[in-house]
Chains A and B, each alone.
Chain A
Amino acid sequence: MLEIKNLHARIVDDGTEIIRGLNLTVRAGEVAAIMGPNGSGKSTLSYILAGREDYEVTEGDILYNGQSILEMDPAERATAGIFLAFQYPMEIPGVATMEFLKVAMNEQRKARGQEPLKIPEFLKRVKEAAASLNMDMTMLKRPLNVGFSGGEKKRAEILQMKLLEPKLCVLDETDSGLDIDALKIVADGVNTLRSPDRAIVVITHYQRLLQYIVPDTVHVLYRGQVIKSGDKSLALDLEANGYAGVIGQAA
C-alpha cells in the first residue's frame, strides 16, 4: 500500500536535510511501528506523507497504491485515503467542531462521487464514534480543539479518523500526553480500524503504545533513514536496551 523509495527531504526555509535516503514498505492489513530517538525525522516523515508544504522532497518517491503522491496537495491525499493523526492538533478558533466534521466528511464524499450525508445520519455516526472513545458530545460543540486538553485533542484525532475511514492511517506520537486509561481507549479505537484493506503506521518514541496496538513490523528511524526493521520483538529489545545498541550496529 505504501512504498517509500530512497526518500530525501529538507526543510524549505533553511534547506536542512531531515530525511536522508529512507526506504519503507507497508502492506495493506499491516500495522507498522516507526520508532526512533528524538530528532530522527519521525514527525517530519508524517508531515511529508500528509503533504505539508514546509518540506521539500529532493530525491526518491512515495508511492501509495502504486501511484506517486508527491504532486498531490494535502486535501487530495486525504481524499485518496491518507490520514495523519497529528502529534499537536491545531486549535482553530471560530471553526465549530461539528461544522468542521461535516464539511470534512462531505468533501471527502464529494471527491469520491458520493452524496453528502443527511444530517441525522451524520449526527448518528458522530455520536457512535464519540461514545466508543468515551468523548462527551458537549466537547464537540466547542470550536475545533480550542480549550481541549492534550488527551482530548488526541481522542478528537482518532474520532476524525474513525469518521473519515481512511485507508492509510499515520499516527504521530498519539500516545504522548495520554494517561493510561485514555491510552487504552485510544488504542481500542485504533484497533477497531484494523482491517485487511487498511494499513496503519504508528510513530512513537516509546514501546508503551505498542502493548496496546500490537504491530506486525517495527522499523527504527535514525538520522532520516530506516536503520533496522523487525517484528514486535524489536520494540521490546529497544525498550530493554535503548536505541544505542541498534544505532551502534548500524554505524
Chain B
Amino acid sequence: MNMHATPQRTLAETALIDAFGERLSLLPGDGAVMLKRDDAIEAIKSGLPTRRIESWHYTDLRRLLTSVPDFDPAAVAKAIAPIVEGSSVLPVLNGVSSAKWAAVEGVTVQRLSEKLTDGSIAPGLDSYGSDDAIGALNTAFVADGYFIDIADGAQLDKPLELQNLQAGGQTHVRLAIRVGAGANAVIVERQAGEGAALVSSVSQLLLGEGAEVTWLVVQEQPDTATHLAQFKAHLGKNSKLTLFVMNAGGKLVRQEVVVKTTGEGADFTLRGINLLAGDTHTDVTMVLDHAVPHTASTEVIRNVVTGRARGVFQGRINVHQYAQKTNAKMACNTLLLSDDGEFSTKPELEIFADDVVCGHGATVTEIDHSHLFYLMARGIDEKTARGLLVKAFVAEVIEELDDEAIVEALEARLDNWFVAHG
C-alpha cells in the first residue's frame, strides 16, 4: 500500500510535464542551465500550488489552471506601437526576441537565448522560495527574452519599451536588466496578445548606486489568456524605483512583485491599478524586504471590480532586524461595482527592527453618491458621471507619476479599457 500517494495530476500538470519532455531538445542552455530546468520541472511534478500554500491561498493555481495550450510554432505576433511615442522598442514575439534593434546610447542589448546557451544567466534562474511556482515554470521553459545593460551614468531621454506579445500557445520569457550607478531610465513592460495562451514572464532588475528607474507594467492580455508574471528587483544604495503595474486583461493573472532593498537610502514606490471585468481572476502579490537601514517604500493599489471578476492583493513587507529607520506605507482601495465581484486584500507586516514607521490600510467602497449627485447636477448623465468617477478613482494613482508623456499614455490605456468595459 502506498502511504504517500501523490494526488492524481491535473490535466494542466500533465500537459506541462509532457510539454517539457517534448520541448527539452529545443531549449537553449549549457549544463548549468539544464540542471536548473530539471530542478524546476521536478518542482512542477510535485504539484502546482493550492490554497493550502499560504502565498497561494487566494489563487489556487492547481484548481484555476484548468488547461494548458500546446506550443504553437505557427503563431505569429506583430510588434505594436509603444505607449509613449518615440520609445525604443524591443519586441519578444511569441517568445522569440528580435535579432536586430535600433542602438540606444549607453544601452547594451543581448538576446537571452544567447545568455542561456553560454550559461552566463544560470545563477539568475534560481527560484526565490519553495512556493515559487511562476519562477519554476519560467525556468523550466524559458527560451528567450533580453538581457539589457544600461551603463553607469546613462540618462535615457526616451522610454525603453519591452514588448512581450503572444498569439496563442505557450510563451516563457525572461527580461533581465542591469541599471548602472547613477543611470536614469523609464522602462515599459508591455504584456499583450491575442491568443488563448499560457504566458510566463519573469523580469529581473538590478539597480546600481543612485540609479533611478520608473518601470511600467502594462498588462492587457485577452480574457482567454493565462498570464503568470514575476518582477524581481534589487535596489542598491540611494537608488530609486517606481514600479507601476496596470492589469487590464487576462483570464487568470498573477503578477508577483519581489523587491529587496540592499543598499541604504533605497526608495521603492509601488503603484498599481487592477481593472477587473468578466469572469476573471487577477492576483497581485508583493514581497518586499527592507534588508538594510534607512530605506523607504510606499505601495498604493487601486482596484475596480465589475462583473464576476475576482481580485487579490497580498502585500508582505519584511523589515529585517538591522533595517532600522525603515519607513513603509501600504494602501489598497477597491471600488466594487458589482454584487458578484470580489476582492481580497491581505497585508502582512513582519517587523524585526524596533525603530521603524510602518502602516497599512485597506478600503472597499462603492461610488460616492454625493459626488455622483454633484456631477449629475451639472447635466452629466448618470452613466457618464459614473464613468468619470470610476476613472478618477484610478487616474489619481496615474497622475502621481508626474511625467506628462507617461500620464497621458497610461490614461489612454485606461480609456481603452473603459471603452471596452464601460
Contacts and interface: CB of A to CB of B under 8 A. Distances in A.
Interface of A: 50-53, 73-75, 77-79, 83-84, 86, 89-90, 92-95, 99-100, 103-104, 107-108, 111, 143, 160, 164
B396 A75 contact: no
B370 interface: yes
B396 A78 contact: no
A92 B379 contact: no
B389 A92 contact: yes
A111 B379 contact: yes
B395 A94 contact: yes
Most buried by B among A50, A52, A75, A104: A75
Interface string B350-392: 0000000000000000000111011111111110110011011
B30 interface: no
Contact of B379 (A99, A104, A143): A104
Contacts of A93: 392, 396
Nearest to B369: A53
B380 A103 contact: yes
B393 interface: yes
Give the 8 A-B residue pairs with the shortest CB-CB distance, closest first. Answer: A94-B392, A78-B379, A74-B376, A104-B378, A94-B396, A108-B379, A75-B376, A90-B374
5 contacts: A75-B377, A75-B379, A75-B382, A99-B388, A100-B378
Interface residues of B, number: 24
A86 B374 contact: yes
A137 B378 CA distance: 20
Interface string B52-73: 0000000000000000000000
B373 A100 contact: no
A137 B379 CA distance: 23
Contact of A100 (B370, B388, B394, B399): B388
Nearest to A94: B392
A89 B377 CA distance: 11
Nearest to B383: A75
A100 B380 CA distance: 9
Contact of A52 (B373, B394, B399): B373
A13 to B, nearest CB: 12
A74 B396 contact: no
A94 B391 contact: yes
B374 A92 contact: yes
Interface string B62-87: 00000000000000000000000000
A100 B395 CA distance: 14
Contact of B378 (A51, A73, A78): A78
Given A78-B379, A94-B395, A103 B388 contact: yes
A35 B380 CA distance: 30
B296 to A, nearest CB: 24
A84 B377 contact: yes
B116 to A, nearest CB: 44
Interface of B is mostly: helix
Contacts of A73: 376, 382
A77 B378 CA distance: 9
Given A100-B388, A103-B384, A94 B399 contact: yes
A135 B380 CA distance: 24
B384 A107 contact: yes
Contacts of B395: 94
Contacts of A78: 376-380
B377 A74 contact: yes
Nearest to A85: B377
Given A78-B377, A78-B380, A160-B378, 17 more contacts: A50-B373, A50-B377, A73-B376, A77-B377, A78-B376, A89-B374, A90-B371, A92-B375, A92-B389, A94-B389, A94-B391, A94-B396, A95-B389, A103-B388, A104-B379, A107-B380, A108-B378
A51 B377 CA distance: 8
B419 to A, nearest CB: 16
Contacts of B384: 103, 107
Contacts of B385: 75
Contacts of B391: 94
A95 B377 contact: no
B264 to A, nearest CB: 34
A160 to B, nearest CB: 6
A82 to B, nearest CB: 9
B378 to A, nearest CB: 4
Contacts of A95: 375, 388-389, 392
Nearest to A166: B379
Contacts of B389: 92, 94-95
A104 B380 contact: yes
Contacts of B393: 94
A53 B373 contact: yes
Most buried by B among A83, A92, A94, A111: A94
Contacts of A99: 388
Contacts of B376: 51, 73-75, 78
Contact of B373 (A74, A107, A160): A74
Contact of B381 (A53, A75, A84): A75
Contacts of B371: 90, 92
Nearest to B392: A94
Contacts of B381: 75, 107
B157 to A, nearest CB: 25
Contacts of A94: 389, 391-396, 399
Contact of A79 (B369, B374, B379): B379
Contacts of B388: 95, 99-100, 103
A92 B392 contact: yes
Contacts of A52: 373
B396 A100 contact: no
A164 B377 CA distance: 11
Most buried by A among B369, B380, B389, B393: B380
A164 B382 CA distance: 18
A228 to B, nearest CB: 29
A93 B389 CA distance: 9
Interface in B387-415: 388-389, 391-396, 399
